[in-house]
Structure 1
Amino acid sequence: MSTPRTTGAPDDLDARPDPASPWAPGLRGVTVGMLLLVALNAFESLAVTTTMPAVVAALGGVELYAMAFAAPVASSVVGMVASGTWSDRRGPASPLVLGVGLFVAGLLVAGTAQAMGTVVAGRVVQGLGGGMLSVALYVVVARVYPAALQARVFAAFAAAWVLPSVVGPALAGFIADTVGWRWVFLGVPLLAVPALAVLRPALVRAGAAPPATDPTRLAGDAATSGARDTAPGG
């Protein structure tokens, strides 16, 4: 039987039994906002594969072609590490807001670039922001959703990556052929900012509530357990 949440967070769900679904009233908007951010991050990670030949044809700089793919991957790792540490110490609100801000800024830089080097720079900033927001979203799940619902939310995150992998390249090609390659970058902020706005109540709640399952500590727990199991006599 569900029991009322007593975290003291400023949300009307605190006075009700735990919801039975991520789509329950009070969580529906949070779920939609998070899935939209995940899908937009996935779309930009995959759609650029289709768009980059048009970018090089317009701006030149073919020697930077591979860097446009490798640079955001490297910067996203930095963003993930920074966001995990920050979220563990201060909560996920600030790293998520900064992550979305950097993600959007990188897209704007790449979408308005007049040289391939600027595109790469924008992609670095975009990757840094994408890494930060992805980890912060996992911490939001741990702090806002009951433990019984967290696996369902993570499964929805996986689905939000699968759909862009199927339709993203074709959609990016269509956009590049019709309105221009720049809008593959510039169109995403039009959805990312409203998605963050929808998440604002959840960020307030996540900052006030203790983590139900803190994902930034799971790796450490697993490592400790593994070391104990493999020690002599463990």
Structure 2
Amino acid sequence: MSVPPVRDELFGRSHRSVTIGILLLISLVAFEQLGVGAAMPAVVADLARVEDYAWPFVAFVATTVVGTVLGGRWCDARGPRLVLLLAPAVFGLGLLVAGTAATFPQLLAGRLLQGLGAGAQGVSVYVLIAQVYSERARPAVFGLVSSAYVLPSLVGPPVAGIVTQYLSWHWVFLGLLPLVALAVLLVLPAVRDLSRPQEPALPRRGLVPAALAASAGIAALSWSGQHPTVVGGILAAAALALLVPALRRLAPTGTFRARPGIPAVVAGRGLISGAFFAVTAYLPLMLTATHGWSLTAAGLPLIAGSLGWSAAAAWQGRRPDLSRPMLLRIGMVAVAVGTAGMLAVAPGWGVAWLAVPLWLLAGIGMGLGYSALAALLLAGSTSEDTGYHSSAALLADQLTQATFVGLGGALLALLTSPAVALPVLVAVLAALAVIGALVAPRTAAR
């Protein structure tokens, strides 16, 4: 019997609306995360002091952690139906509260709601993909999901800047509300048909306290990453001390040792995310402060990385029969080479233009590796633990990004010069990606 093309499963009559709805939900959250940075100077000028600049970002990150954990627990216990409807509603309410803010506390309240909704929504989308699409189609779904993240990275900041300049920063939030409603309407037919777990997951003790502790720790790391001072470095160390015991509760047993199966998948998500996104955070500073590039020129490697990610994710999606652990190893090696190559860019004597091809290579690695990890996560999960595993993987993303961005801030505070501090950070991140390449074969579903 012939196998129907994967594209027919994604965009045929039965799944077309839910596929588009998933992509729209993800794009909206990604746009809000990236676009709000362009509007934030105007927001702070209207409502607060420059010293308060980091708090809207910290507020979003803090409740994203809580939403991720609680959303995953609910999906495993009662299915994703309610979360898929409630999470976008909470995110939309956060947009409304922030978009109508006349005071800084109201803005922070809106950002808290946005983070809570975004975290729960991210987990529920993974569970929805697991229930709606066949295992053969999932690599293509995750290829599209990658594009839904990448496109906002290209258009989000300039669009938000134009809206802020010619209308108002309020519309950076309010303008997304109709699209949130549209996305919910598109996924609604699929949500009605979702099943509840036949054997709901057993309660996991201590999840809520651990989620709150992880929220506080990741928020502190995020704040310290935006404040490269000695105080920021001390706060980052304290946050890590808080996070380690919390994550032992929130992650599958064996994650820190990369035990074969799902623990290695979760560890792999943290390793590849930490390496790629921490370099991405400091690459513009590397090029402007050390090599004198303009802000516009310093964005070129980031664009190259985004395009490489999108192209590689689309390529792997059309090849569902390839080994996902093999693709993951190739992706990890590409990220490791791209990151290690920055050692020839970061010092004062470095060759700045190498950043563009190096980060294109790293983006290709992310397109292969990130998509492979998502497919492996669902392949190794059951209907009773997909939410838990998905929330653990998303938390690994958030933790490692915050940890190594915070480490970069601490190094800048201690070593003072980007030309000295950033090569040290790059060396650490390259080692992280190399470890990821060694872990890759352990991610095969058991």
TM-score tier after normalising by the smaller chain length: 0.7 to 0.9
* Equivalent position to 1:197, from 185, 207, 217: 185
1:157-206 CA-partner distances (Å, limit 9, x unpaired): 11100000011000000111111110000011110111101111111122
Is 1:57 the counterpart of 2:45? The answer is yes
* Equivalent position to 2:172, from 164, 181, 184: 184
What is the aligned partner in structure 2 of residue 141 from structure 1? 129
147-156 vs 159-168, which deviates more? Answer: 147-156
What is the aligned partner in structure 2 of residue 122 from structure 1? 110
Relative distance call for 1:135 and 1:218 in structure 2 (3 A) is closer
Task: State the secondary structure of the residue aligned to 1:103.
Answer: helix
* Equivalent position to 1:163, from 121, 143, 151: 151
Identity %: 43
Relative distance call for 1:112 and 1:39 in structure 2 (3 A) is same
What is the aligned partner in structure 2 of residue 216 from structure 1? 387
Is 1:71 the counterpart of 2:242? The answer is no
> 1:110·1:120 contact (CA, 8 Å) conserved in 2?
yes
Relative distance call for 1:19 and 1:53 in structure 2 (3 A) is closer
What is the aligned partner in structure 2 of residue 100 from structure 1? 88
1:72-127 CA-partner distances (Å, limit 9, x unpaired): 11110110111111011111111121111110011111110111121111101100
Letter aligned with residue 137 of structure 1 = V
In structure 2, distance between residues paired with 1:95 and 1:110: 22
Is 1:173 the counterpart of 2:161? The answer is yes
* Equivalent position to 1:112, from 84, 90, 100: 100
Task: State the secondary structure of the residue aligned to 2:53.
Answer: helix
Taking only aligned residues, the RMSD between alpha carbons, in angstroms, comes to 2.7
Letter aligned with residue 66 of structure 2 = V
In structure 2, distance between residues paired with 1:2 and 1:85: 38
- Give how far 1:152 is off: 1.1
Task: State the secondary structure of the residue aligned to 2:21.
Answer: helix
- Normalising by structure 2, what TM-score? 0.44
> 1:61·1:117 contact (CA, 8 Å) conserved in 2?
no
In structure 2, distance between residues paired with 1:17 and 1:171: 36
What is the aligned partner in structure 2 of residue 46 from structure 1? 34
> 1:39·1:164 contact (CA, 8 Å) conserved in 2?
yes
What is the aligned partner in structure 2 of residue 12 from structure 1? none
In structure 2, distance between residues paired with 1:153 and 1:105: 28
Q: Which has the larger radius of gyration?
A: 2
- Give how far 1:154 is off: 1.4
Letter aligned with residue 142 of structure 2 = F
* Equivalent position to 1:132, from 120, 123, 144: 120
Letter aligned with residue 78 of structure 1 = V
- Give how far 1:27 is off: 0.6
What is the aligned partner in structure 2 of residue 27 from structure 1? 15
- Give how far 1:218 is off: 4.6
Greater RCO (Cα-Cα under 8 Å, separation 6 or more): 1
In structure 2, distance between residues paired with 1:166 and 1:105: 26
In structure 2, distance between residues paired with 1:69 and 1:104: 17
* Aligned residue-pair number: 211
Letter aligned with residue 161 of structure 2 = G
Relative distance call for 1:205 and 1:43 in structure 2 (3 A) is same
Relative distance call for 1:65 and 1:23 in structure 2 (3 A) is same
> 2:68·2:123 contact (CA, 8 Å) conserved in 1?
yes
Task: State the secondary structure of the residue aligned to 1:207.
Answer: coil
- Give how far 1:217 is off: 5.3
Relative distance call for 1:55 and 1:200 in structure 2 (3 A) is same
Task: State the secondary structure of the residue aligned to 2:159.
Answer: helix
- Give how far 1:21 is off: 3.1
What is the aligned partner in structure 1 of residue 360 from structure 2? none
